[in-house]
Amino acid sequence: MERMWSRKVAMKYPKQWIVLVNLSHEPNNKVIGDVYLVTPDKDIAYSTAKSLGDSMGKKMVVEGFNDAPQIGGFTICTQSL
């Protein structure tokens, strides 16, 4: 497992769901934890976090950074013809 800041792990794994365990809170509301699982499936990430129970301390599921441009809440998709 790799120990990382929650924001850094979101940037490292774009468009993925990450389960962080053994969380600790640092000054300025920063959260650091061990990366337990990286998956493209949201349901798997949440079910894994739930199944761990209290065995791995505090847990958190983070969505990876999505850099798709958005206008008014909709994601802009382009198609090449």
Give residue 78's pLDDT: 54
Bridge partners, 34 (sequence order)? 3, 21
Give residue 81's pLDDT: 45
d(CA 23, CA 20): 7
Coil, strand or helix at 79:
coil
Q: What is the mean pLDDT of each run of 10 residues along the chain (81 residues)?
A: 83 90 85 91 91 86 77 56 45
The pTM of the full predicted model, rounded to 2 decimals, is 0.75
